Amino acid sequence: MSAAREQTVPAQFVGFFDDAATFPPGLAPVDQAVTDHVERRSAPFVRAVGPAVLALADLPRAREVAAGLDLSGGPVEVSVVTPAGALGEALTAATTLTPELRVVAVELKTDPSSREVWTEQVREAAAIRELPIYVELTAGQVAEGALELLAGTGLRLKYRTGGIEAHLFPTPEQLGDVLTAAVTAGLPFKLTAGLHEAIRYTNETTGFTHHGFLNIAMATQAARAGESRETVSGWLAETDSTRLAAAGAVSDGSWRESFTSFGTCSVGEPADALRRLDLFPA
């Protein structure tokens, strides 16, 4: 990769967009998602793209597709979304070395219906040291103290910021409390669902108000600096693109130590959003 191409992605956004093309609302077929992910290696913004996010059940087909592609740049790196109770299967996939795929992280779902069950699932995951494990938790689990179980274990948090119904979008205050709690507990986190734009906006078709990933970055930065609850939620509620772009431009990017990445079904979409704010070169 040329030095000129490397310079197109600011350091704070390197590996920030996890390629979750097969998940809603994109729902790309596995064949297309894997092919596009590999072909994207020649894109100017490729250093902003993280691993391909694939369901555990899709790994065999993904491996077959990747075998027919140009992998001179190395195997396809995968973060594998794992159903509750299937951690062992994901670890087997991670330790099965092949030239086509390399599992670099596990995104583990838990069973929120039973505290006893999800507590045991978290403890089982905490015993793993081979690779990063993001444990997906609901707002209810967080309220029940699940972050305390993760703290100090090496586990990471995965949290949803949207969905197909309005109630699945946390308010700025609710999301701010989770971000602050994760920062306080020293838990790196990744986010997923509803993060299509850098700046908070309302979708004209659905009427849902979506969080902006740059809003979240600045809110995380505020939480790491020990700012007040009002300041953190204020960044999440901000819709002034000029103010957010200016804050992003002068940020040292330390927020990435907490907010590691987010899943997006179209990695070009967030790249375009940052270009419009002059945070990515044209």
The residues, any chain, with a CB within 8 Å of residue 117's CB and separated by 6 or more, are 84, 110, 111
| Extended beta strands in the chain, E state | 17-19, 49-55, 76-82, 101-108, 133-136, 156-160, 189-192, 201-202, 209-210, 259-264
Measured CA to CA in angstroms, residue 82 lies from 42, 86, 87 at distances of 29, 6, 7
- Gap between the Cα atoms of 194 and 162, Å rounded: 5
pLDDT of 79: 98
pLDDT of 97: 83
DSSP per residue over 59-124, as a string?
Answer: HHHHHHHHHTS--TT-PEEEEEEE-TT-HHHHHHHHHS--SSEEEEEEEE---TT-HHHHHHHHHH
pLDDT above 50 (res 3): no
Q: Does domain 3-276 have CATH number 3.40.640.10?
A: no
Q: If pLDDT is split at 50, 70 and 90, which confidence band does 7 have? A: low
Kindly report, residue by residue over 139-155, the tens digit of the pLDDT. 999 999 999 999 999 99
Q: What percent of the chain has pLDDT over 70?
A: 97
pLDDT of 6: 45
The answer to whether 211 and 162 are in contact (CB under 8 A) is yes
Please give the angle made by the CA atoms of 188, 53 and 73, to the nearest 5 degrees: 105
Indicate the residue type of 92: T
**What is the residue extent of each domain of the chain?**
3-276
pTM: 0.94
